[in-house]
Amino acid sequence: MLIALFPKKCYIPFRPHSMRILKGSEAMKFSTRAIHAGQEPDPTTGSVMTPIYQTSTYAQAGLGENKGFEYSRSGNPTRAALEACMAALEEGTYGLAFASGMAAETAILALLSAGDHVVSCDDTYGGTYRIFERVMRRYGVEASYVAARNVADYEKAIRPNTKMIWLETPTNPLLGLIDIQKVAAIAHAKNLLVVVDNTFASPYFQQPLKLGADIVVHSTTKYINGHSDVIGGALVTSNEEVYQSIKFYQNAAGGVPGPFDTWLTLRGIKTLAVRMRQHEANALAVAQFLYEHPRVEKVYYPGLPSHPDYELAKCQMSGFGGMVSFQFKGTYGDVAQMARRFRVFALAESLGGVESLVCHPASMTHGSIPRAIREARGLTDTLLRLSVGIEDIEDILSDLEQALAAGR
């Protein structure tokens, strides 16, 4: 009933193409899949790299005679390669790519109808909160929020009209973890869909479908692409009904990425494994440095034994990721001064690129959350979020050292 809006007949199938490509890669290891899944030498030229099929439409031999593609909103070969690659990395059956992470989220939320309810964790990207509160609410879909880590609270928040549980783990920006397996068990006992935003971990460190999630969503703008030159989104599911509904919506609403952006993303994915390893090594060194620093009140990094979810991180994830947040011991004025002092880190929104970024969530990524709600969640004016890049760690640490002297 959840997906009655999207009749199967209207779905334009591309599965034969992407499934064929996916098949051979199933047994391969992660790094190999990142480079090859969904990508074969071009059948006409032998081009090793998937071409940028920069076309809006496809010539048809006769009525009803096409080669699997009719119009690029419905499907495009470069995009099909990215979708198959994403599915292979998340170990799901179906991938779908979108013009942004928010477009992918919107496509998932379009599974819902007026009168439905979503339970969401309370620490999510500000734009996720914004789409729940300022878009979905107007369409009659209500969200309620529970403290990210408290598994029992998800069960308590379920109402008769709840259809979906929305998780982001690790959370943005406080790096809290949610036990996906436990929440999925609660959700499935009540026939609810579980969505996991896996942007922070990337499939290299966490594969939510294997832990019971029904849909995994990414802002591919971040680690997946990894070079801060694309806005994109993707989702993966193994649930055929869900796939068909969202595929229908993708074509109907049209929030698709262009061929060049999908190609750049495919190119970025090839180095995902090596990038993630270096992001993690640098982030761990940064977290340890901040932990010891006299001007740091608190460090949020799941790879520190002092993190409340350290044990969960060790079993749910295969690495701790490249994001570190911290509370600065000083005034807002000191933080404002610090923001101008960074030399290696750029003061910028976004994350997951090869270069280090520093963000002030209260005024940047989470500025759309009303101040009272934001502060109650711990997003104070002295909280800073670091996307630790893969530059030389000595340069990263000395930049932090000089920036932390702000206000002295």
Catalytic residue positions, numbered: 73, 125, 197, 222
Q: How far is the CB of 407 from ligand P1T (least distance, A)?
A: 25
For residue 11, which of 257, 259, 241 has the smallest C-alpha distance?
241
Residue 83 CA: distances (Å) to CA of 78, 256, 321: 9, 12, 23
- If residue 394 lies in a helix (H) or strand (E), which one and from where to where? helix 393-403
Identify which range of 20-28, 256-264, 297-305, 347-355 contacts ligand P1T by CB under 6 A.
347-355
Contacting residue, 95, 365, 388, 400, with ligand P1T by CB under 6 A: 365
Under rule CB under 6 A, residue 201 binds ligand P1T: no
The residue type of 374 is: R
**25/106 with CB nearer ligand P1T:** 106
284: left (phi over 0), alpha (psi -120 to 50) or beta: alpha
Determine the 3-state secondary structure of 125 from DSSP.
coil
Under rule CB under 6 A, residue 102 binds ligand P1T: yes
Determine the 3-state secondary structure of 11 from DSSP.
coil
- In the DSSP assignment, the letter for residue 258 is P
Contacting residue, 75, 176, 208, 233, with ligand P1T by CB under 6 A: 233
| Residue with the two structure tokens 């509370």 | 327
**233/244 with CB nearer ligand P1T:** 233
**103/184 with CB nearer ligand P1T:** 103
**21/148 with CB nearer ligand P1T:** 148
Number of residues that bind ligand P1T (CB under 6 A): 18
Question: Any alpha helices (H) in 158-209, and if so which ranges?
Answer: 180-189, 202-205
Residue 46 token pair: 């032998």
Contacting residue, 14, 30, 94, 125, with ligand P1T by CB under 6 A: 125
Contacting residue, 90, 197, 214, 309, with ligand P1T by CB under 6 A: 197
Strand-pair partners of 193 = 164
Going by C-beta distance under 8 Å and a sequence separation of 6 or more, which residues neighbour residue 107? 96, 98, 235, 246, 249, 250, 253, 255
Under rule CB under 6 A, residue 259 binds ligand P1T: no
- If residue 326 lies in a helix (H) or strand (E), which one and from where to where? strand 323-328
Identify which range of 180-188, 206-214, 263-271, 343-351 contacts ligand P1T by CB under 6 A.
343-351
Q: How far is the CB of 98 from ligand P1T (least distance, A)?
A: 9
**22/201 with CB nearer ligand P1T:** 201
Under rule CB under 6 A, residue 261 binds ligand P1T: no
Under rule CB under 6 A, residue 199 binds ligand P1T: yes
Q: How far is the CB of 33 from ligand P1T (least distance, A)?
A: 23
**349/355 with CB nearer ligand P1T:** 349
Contacting residue, 101, 258, 319, 330, with ligand P1T by CB under 6 A: 101
- In the DSSP assignment, the letter for residue 191 is T
Q: Give the CB-side neighbour count of residue 118, counting CA atoms within 13 A.
A: 30
**221/244 with CB nearer ligand P1T:** 221
Contacting residue, 25, 50, 162, 221, with ligand P1T by CB under 6 A: 221
Residue 230 CA: distances (Å) to CA of 78, 101, 198, 262, 303: 15, 11, 18, 9, 28
Q: How far is the CB of 8 from ligand P1T (least distance, A)?
A: 29
Contacting residue, 207, 219, 316, 382, with ligand P1T by CB under 6 A: 219
Contacting residue, 231, 283, 286, 324, with ligand P1T by CB under 6 A: 231
Residue 241 CA: distances (Å) to CA of 1, 77, 79, 171, 215: 11, 23, 21, 28, 12
Q: Which residues bind ligand P1T (CB under 6 A)?
A: 100-102, 125, 127, 168, 172, 197, 199, 219, 221, 231, 233, 349-351, 359, 365
